[in-house]
Amino acid sequence: MNYKELYEFAYNFLLTFENVTESILERHLVPDLIKPKDLNKIYFKLCESAQNRQMSAKVIGQSIGGIENLKKLLFEFDPKRVSEKYKKNESNKLLIDIISTLKPKGQLRTTNRSIWPQFCKSIIDSAYFLNSFDNVIDFYDWADFFIHDKKAKLSLPLLISAEIHGIGFPLACDFLKEIGYIEYSKPDTHLRDIFFALNIVDNYEKSIIKQDFEILQVVDKIAFENNTTPYAVDKVFWLIGSGNFYSSNIKIGGQKQKFIDKFKSIIS
């Protein structure tokens, strides 16, 4: 079975569930956002991505009433002003300010490897990274340089992950996807598990970054064969794995193993 047939099978698999219509499915395959028009909004998106590290959103966002409440400390998410207030090594100072101003609920660990100190490092690194651009156009010009070159495309999330503490390669891909770059998918656990189980990617590759690269390359090939976007391919397999049609308030439960078993039974 080729990539075209794999995607069509996955797409139609989702349509077998109650209340999941083609219009509902299509609604989830097209991003409902436009590219942020200023660096402040991009900074907010980076902070959102940083809190998603290892499911940290439950510890961070929920404890302060939403990540948007950081605007009280981050000058409405202004990277220039944040980088002026905090030095690169002053994540502890930022954490003290967060505790004083936002009073996070629940237990808050302050050891270096704990979630909050790590998150604060990501916030400051993100501010310094974005402050290296003159404006949002400068940022997009830089990003577009990589996106328009197939060989360089995967270098962009790699560079972002090197610049910002806590934003690994998958989160950098997710960040780019969420600011409107539909050319990217996120090599998350759902794509990884499905592609490994179906032997689409090399199960014996020990390098995580090489695995991630191969997953994204496969997603690109699936998208090309089906005349769609990597974003749409990502969403189809994510919906299979999560079962969460978030835009339509429909939950079918995780169907990853059922999909894998059905697909294997067809190709065997």
pLDDT digits (tens, 9 = 90+) for 13-59: 999 999 999 999 999 999 877 899 999 999 999 999 999 876 576 77
User: Are residues 108 and 165 both part of a single domain?
Assistant: yes
State the Cα torsion 238-243-249-250 to the nearest 10°: 130
- Calculate the average pLDDT of the chain: 94
Spatial CB neighbours of 151, under 8 Å, sequence gap ≥ 6: none
87 and 194 belong to one structural domain: no
114, two tokens? 């704990």
Q: Vertex 157, ends 226 and 242: CA angle to 5°? A: 55
Q: Has residue 151 got a pLDDT over 90?
A: no
- pLDDT greater than 80 at residue 229: yes
pLDDT in tens, 86-105: 999 999 999 999 999 999 99
| β-bridge mates for residue 245, sequence order | 250
Q: What is the arithmetic mean of pLDDT over 66-70?
A: 95
User: 108 pLDDT band (50/70/90 cuts)?
Assistant: confident
Q: Are residues 9 and 111 in the same domain?
A: no
Q: Is the per-residue pLDDT at 247 higher than 70?
A: yes
* Domain final residue, candidates 135, 151, 178: 178
- Mean pLDDT throughout 138-159? 94
**Same domain? 86 vs 169:** yes
Domain final residue, candidates 117, 148, 178: 178
Which residue range forms the structural domain that includes residue 212? 3-31+184-267
174 and 188 within one domain: no
Whether residue 175 is predicted with pLDDT greater than 80 in this model: the reply is yes
According to the model, what pLDDT value does residue 55 have?
Answer: 58
- Write down the residue that tokens 């404006």 correspond to: 135
Domain count, the chain: 2
Examine the fold and report which residue of 162, 178, 194 is the final residue of a domain before the chain moves on: 178
CATH number of domain containing 194? 1.10.1670
Tell me, yes or no, whether 113 and 205 share the same domain.
Answer: no
Pick the closest to residue 241 from 6, 54, 13 (CA basis). 13
Which residues, at least 6 apart from 201, have a Cβ–Cβ distance to it below 8 Å? Answer: 195, 211, 214, 215, 218
Report the pLDDT value the prediction gives residue 238, as an integer from 0 to 100: 97
Q: Is the pLDDT of residue 194 over 90?
A: yes
Q: What is the pLDDT of residue 1?
A: 72
User: Does the structure show a pLDDT above 90 at 106?
Assistant: no
In the predicted model, what is the mean pLDDT of residues 114-133?
Answer: 96
